[in-house]
Amino acid sequence: MLTGTDHTGSEELAIKSTRIRRFLTLLALKTTAKFFKRDGYCIPISKHKIVKTGAWVHLTEAATMQFVAENTSIPVPKVHCAFVHKGRAYIVMERIRSPSISSNIQPEIFSQLKDILQELRALKPPPGTGVHSFAGGSLYDSRIARCQPRFGPFKTIHDFHYWLRDGFEPPEDRPKQIEPDEWEDLKEMVEMQDGPWPEPVFTHGDLNPSNILVREGKVVGIIDWEFAGWYPPYWEYTAAFNVMLTNTQWQGLIGKFLDPYPEQLKMEKTRQRWWGEI
Phi-psi category of residue 148: left, alpha or beta, with phi > 0 → left and psi -120 to 50 → alpha: beta
- Predicted local confidence at residue 190, as pLDDT: 98
CA 87 distance to own-chain centroid: 22
Taking residues 34-42, what's their average pLDDT?
92
Return residue ranges of the chain for CATH 3.30.200. Answer: 11-94
- CATH architecture of the region 11-94: 2-Layer Sandwich (3.30)
Look at residue 228 and tell me whether its pLDDT is greater than 70: yes
For the stretch 101-128, pLDDT in tens is 865 567 788 999 999 999 999 999 999 9
Reported pTM = 0.94
Among 71-75, 108-112, 158-162, which is the least confidently predicted range?
Answer: 108-112
Look at residue 1 and tell me whether its pLDDT is greater than 50: no
Taking residues 59-80, what's their average pLDDT?
98
CB 89 within 8 A of CB 53: yes
Look at residue 10 and tell me whether its pLDDT is greater than 60: yes
Percent with pLDDT over 70 in the chain: 96
- Report the alpha-carbon distance of residue 59 to residue 138 in Å, rounded: 11
Look at residue 237 and tell me whether its pLDDT is greater than 60: yes
- Predicted local confidence at residue 106, as pLDDT: 72
| Banded pLDDT at 3 (limits 50, 70, 90) | low
Single-letter residue type at 134: F
| CATH 3.90.1200 is right for the domain spanning 109-275 | yes
- Closest to 142 (Cα-Cα) out of 234, 56, 269, 250: 56
Cα 125–84–58 angle (5° rounding)? 40
Taking residues 195-206, what's their average pLDDT?
97
- Predicted local confidence at residue 99, as pLDDT: 87
| Banded pLDDT at 139 (limits 50, 70, 90) | very high
- Predicted local confidence at residue 2, as pLDDT: 52
What are the CA-CA distances from residue 149 to residues 67, 140, 146, 227 (Å)? 23, 7, 8, 12
Look at residue 171 and tell me whether its pLDDT is greater than 60: yes
Q: Which residues contact 182 (CB under 8 A, 6 or more apart)?
A: none
Return residue ranges of the chain for CATH 3.90.1200. Answer: 109-275
- Predicted local confidence at residue 276, as pLDDT: 80
Q: Which residues contact 46 (CB under 8 A, 6 or more apart)?
A: 28, 32, 95
Taking residues 246-270, what's their average pLDDT?
92
